[in-house]
Copies of this chain bind each other. A is one copy, B any other.
Amino acid sequence: MIKNVIVGQSGGPTAAINASLCGVYQAAVECGANKVYGMLNGIQGFLEGRYIDLSEHIKDSLDAELLKRTPASFLGSCRYKLPDLEGNEDTYKKIFSMLDEMEIGAFVYIGGNDSMDTIDKLSKYAISIDSPIRFMGCPKTVDNDLALTDHTPGYGSAAKYIAVTMKELIRDSFTIDFKQGMCTIVEIMGRDAGWLTGAAALSEDDDCYGPDLIYLPEIPFDIHMFRDKVGKLLKEKRSVVVAVSEGIHTADGTYVCQLGGGSDFVDAFGHKQLTGTATYLAGYIAGEFGCKTRAIEFSILQRAGSHVASITDIMEAMEAGAASIRAAFDGETAKMVVFERYSQEPYINVTALKDVSKIANEARTVPREWVNEDGDYVTEEFIQYAKPLIQGELTTIYAGGLPRHLAVPEGLRER
């Protein structure tokens, strides 16, 4: 019997992560949960005793609608890696004694690879101590790189932001007719997986040329081939637009941003922070061809752009949140909700459950055959895969000229 529920958000936010939170909350209430708590700043904040009662924030259906439209993680997030059990049993004991005290029966963590590692560890510990608490993972990542799922909530909205913005900047890029031409390099998120960068191709239509070249991190980057391609295009067109993943690297594994002396900052999970790829390549092309260049980084705008969220993504994110709760109430634990695409046309997508241990720390990359032979554009298969995920718009709720969001819980920004 599950009495209370607790939910947390972890890792980088997406435009859909709060839709999943909304799905978790509403399903938990429907399933008869007494209290639904939200950890502030994930398991890290929970260990400091920081959590809220969600019913005090989601008081009516307008609050729920605002939450679905609120960018970033409503509960705050963390990049805290739970230590291995061996030698750190105290941390686990502390967490479980807190959960028991709060009479928690189900623990849902909305996150990506690293967050599923947390669910994996907590669920294994629960089994080892015969705890009845159920641990469920709800997927989230703009990167779309979680294993065993067709796609991930958050990807569709980020892909839509990228396609919308590419369309606008491509149109802007050939406004002025520069003598030596113009080359725009757009840097898109994706350390190891090119799903987001490939979404730049979705901008192509009757009213938009689309980008000229697309480089994903799955394929070694050859800077001389790149130079020759851009040089050829500059002879044909006044403006050349190139989309690159932040994680593109040469055959020997050197990140392109490192060629330009980019930062070597490493986060808590050992991931390099990559930035400066577009700036480096724009400088390189300017030097080679003397043309005007522009480097544009979508930066966090691509994951925070909830005002252009895909309604397909938002509805699926809510459903993933609800499915994780229903599974916990059905007695499941140590599972993550995944998506299975039954049909491409019409697009039919359903939820299923997979063992979280098979997902944690695995990454799903763009298949080689979804990239053209030269490795500088995605194929029609990629476009057919991604297109359904950006369909439909969640009507933005505007107030005073700006999108309205759910008010920030106390304690997230102040020290």
Contact = CB atoms under 8 A, between A and B. Distances in A.
A407 to B, nearest CB: 5
Interface in A256-304: 294, 296-297, 299-301, 303-304
A406 interface: yes
A233 B306 CA distance: 27
A299 B173 CA distance: 12
A381 interface: no
A245 to B, nearest CB: 18
Contact of A402 (B12, B390, B403, B408): B390
B163 A207 contact: no
A174 B410 CA distance: 12
A134 B391 CA distance: 48
A123 to B, nearest CB: 24
**Helix, strand, loop or mixed for chain A's interface?**
mixed
A120 B205 CA distance: 40
A307 interface: yes
A213 to B, nearest CB: 15
Nearest to A79: B176
B72 A405 contact: no
Contact of A414 (B44, B238, B404): B238
B207 A175 contact: no
Given A76-B175, A387-B401, 6 more contacts: A71-B172, A72-B175, A171-B408, A207-B407, A238-B415, A391-B400
Interface of A: 12-13, 41, 44-45, 70-73, 76-79, 160, 163-165, 167-169, 171-177, 202-203, 205-209, 235-239, 294, 296-297, 299-301, 303-308, 310, 387, 390-393, 396, 398-408, 412-415
6 contacts: A13-B172, A164-B307, A171-B408, A238-B414, A238-B415, A301-B301
